[in-house]
Amino acid sequence: MDPQSETLEAIINRCLQSDQTAYAALYESCAPSIYRLCYGLLMNRQDAEDVMQEAFVYAFKNLHRYDSTRSAFKTWLYTIALSRCRNLYRRKRLPWMDFASLLSPDLPAPRSETPESRLMETSAKAAVEAALAELTPRLREAIVLRYGHGLTYREIAEVMGCPQKTAESRVRLAHERLRGVLQPVGPGLLEELIGIEA
Amino acid sequence: MMHCWKVRSRLVAYIHGELQPHERHLVARHLEDCETCYAAYLQQLELTRELEQVVPFVGADYRPDFKRVWAAMQSETVHSRSAPRLQSLHYGLAALIVAALFFIPLTFGGNEITFASPPTQPAPLTVRATPGGTQPIEGTAVAMHIVADVTPEPRRNLYVPLTEANTTP
Ligand SMILES: [Zn+2]
């Protein structure tokens, strides 16, 4: 069956009947966004991969506990991944930037074709990543969930395990911090970065 | 009319479409009239657009590898199945050692088994009657048969059957 045409609920039901292809389909459909979440929070490729794997193993083994009447599957999976990210940065204290990955040639798919625009996007991404890494974990979580995954404040609150007002405050505070870091330089920073890398 | 500070604190939620209709309307009206707040709104809007364009692509170059996760899941399942067996082996060894410590005195001491007990109070002494009466004999070694007035605790059954229930932590 084509995983694209099958609903998530149907895939989960097949998983519960121990169908390995269903697990593969579920993974294929959710892994990219879970990896983006983990990488956005941990800022390190290896850590993100390890945590994502841990989260999926847990989710697969506890799939029977998932209650679709209580939350969306995506939210449930995000909650699992987030708690594992928190465990890791509690252990490591501070996230560090994976600079090698920022400069590696296989950076995200370009949205435009010219090398100049690609370089500019890469630099903008590097600047935003650096700014994200400066945020406290809770503020970074709020921003990544909002902008990286389009969650509403209510969903952010659910995943972060806090009241909706707190989620809103965290998004607002993160905005203030990021504005302080990114906007005083704005496009000027991008030009500067292009100048350095060219 | 909403105060400027109040409007500023609601700007991000306003841009995200997270305000209730009534509050949204109040902010919109304020932005029409207040240039300072409108400038702040434009700044927040610009940042929002930048984040919307960049953050979804952070970590977007990942190629899912289901085999790795599946293998990890299988190995964890095997581990969690074998773990109780290993634990029951540990419990078994411990029980064996306790049993050995308990039964070793039986093999050496014959019938005169004494049980250690906590020294809660001095044990009453009895003095064996001698031909000279019950007076202690001076200058000789004191030969008293001390009988500890101790009742041995009943043996507790140390053997606990190793079932699935008590091997699971
Ligand atoms: Zn104002």
What DSSP assignment string belongs to A124-174?
HHHHHHHHHHHS-HHHHHHHIIIIIT---HHHHHHHHTS-HHHHHHHHHHH
CA of B50 to the centre of ligand 1 (A): 24
CB atoms within 10 A of CB A77: 23
Determine the pLDDT at residue B76: 77
Domain with B26 in it = 4-57
* CA trace torsion B107, B111, B112, B116 (10° rounding): 60
Instruction: From B57, B73, B99, give the residue that closes a domain.
Output: B57
B47 and B89 both lie in a single domain: no
What does residue B153 show for φ and ψ, rounded to 5 degrees?
Answer: -65, 140
* pLDDT, greater one: A6 or B85: A6
Beta-bridge mates of residue B130: B133
Contacts B58 to A, Cβ<8 Å: 36, 39-40, 108, 125, 128-129, 132, 144, 148
- What percentage of chain B carries pLDDT values higher than 90? 34
* Domains, in order of start, for chain A: 8-91 (1.10.1740.10), 99-194 (1.10.10.10)
pLDDT-derived band at A83, boundaries 50, 70, 90:
very high
| B133: three-class secondary structure by DSSP | strand
Looking at the domain assignment, is residue B91 inside a domain? yes
pLDDT-derived band at B103, boundaries 50, 70, 90:
low
Q: Is it the case that residue B131 has pLDDT exceeding 60?
A: no
B52 and B93 both lie in a single domain: no
pLDDT-derived band at B148, boundaries 50, 70, 90:
very low
Looking at the domain assignment, is residue B46 inside a domain? yes
Given an 8 Å threshold on Cβ–Cβ distance, is A124 in contact with B66?
no
* Closest CA of chain B from A68, distance in Å: 23
Looking at the domain assignment, is residue B151 inside a domain? no
Mean pLDDT of A99-124: 55
Mean pLDDT of A80-85: 96
Determine the pLDDT at residue A111: 43
Determine the pLDDT at residue B120: 53
DSSP designation for B5: H
What does residue B130 show for φ and ψ, rounded to 5 degrees?
Answer: -115, 170
Looking at the domain assignment, is residue B64 inside a domain? no
Determine the pLDDT at residue B147: 44
B52 and B88 both lie in a single domain: no
Contacts B69 to A, Cβ<8 Å: 27, 31, 53, 56-57, 60
Beta-bridge mates of residue B133: B130
Mean pLDDT of A4-30: 89
Determine the pLDDT at residue A122: 73
Looking at the domain assignment, is residue B11 inside a domain? yes
Which H or E element spans position B88? Answer: helix B66-109
> Could you give the CA distance from residue B152 to residue B147 in angstroms, rounded to a whole number?
13
- pLDDT tens for residues B20-60? 999 999 999 999 999 999 999 999 999 999 999 999 999 99
Looking at the domain assignment, is residue B156 inside a domain? no
Determine the pLDDT at residue B108: 54
* Closest CA of chain B from A48, distance in Å: 9
**A74 vs A8, A170, A187, A193, CA distance in Å?**
10, 21, 35, 36
Q: Which of A87-101, A179-193, B51-65 shows the lowest per-residue confidence on average (mean pLDDT)?
A: A179-193
ipTM above 0.85 for this complex = no
Mean pLDDT of B63-88: 72
Contacts A3 to B, Cβ<8 Å: none
pLDDT-derived band at B106, boundaries 50, 70, 90:
low
B47 and B91 both lie in a single domain: no
Given an 8 Å threshold on Cβ–Cβ distance, is A39 in contact with B53?
no
Determine the pLDDT at residue B73: 82
Contacts B56 to A, Cβ<8 Å: 36, 147-149
Contacts A121 to B, Cβ<8 Å: 54, 57
- Most confidently modeled of A117-121, A168-172, A187-191, B130-134? A168-172
Pick from B62, B68, B73: CB nearest A32? B62
Looking at the domain assignment, is residue B87 inside a domain? yes
Q: Which of A12-21, A50-59, A165-174, A182-191 shows the lowest per-residue confidence on average (mean pLDDT)?
A: A182-191
DSSP designation for B130: B
Looking at the domain assignment, is residue B34 inside a domain? yes
- Domain count for chain B, please give it: 2
A144 touches chain B (CB under 8 A): yes
A143 touches chain B (CB under 8 A): yes
Q: Is it the case that residue A6 has pLDDT exceeding 50?
A: yes
Determine the pLDDT at residue A188: 43
Q: Which of A32-36, B8-12, B93-97 shows the lowest per-residue confidence on average (mean pLDDT)?
A: B93-97
**A143 vs A136, B163, B165, B169, CA distance in Å?**
11, 50, 46, 40
CB atoms within 10 A of CB B146: 11
Query: Judged by CB atoms within 8 Å, which residues 50-89 of A form the interface with B?
Result: 53, 56-57, 60-61
> For the whole model, what pTM was predicted?
0.66
- pLDDT tens for residues B79-99? 665 554 455 556 667 777 777
Q: Is it the case that residue A11 has pLDDT exceeding 60?
A: yes
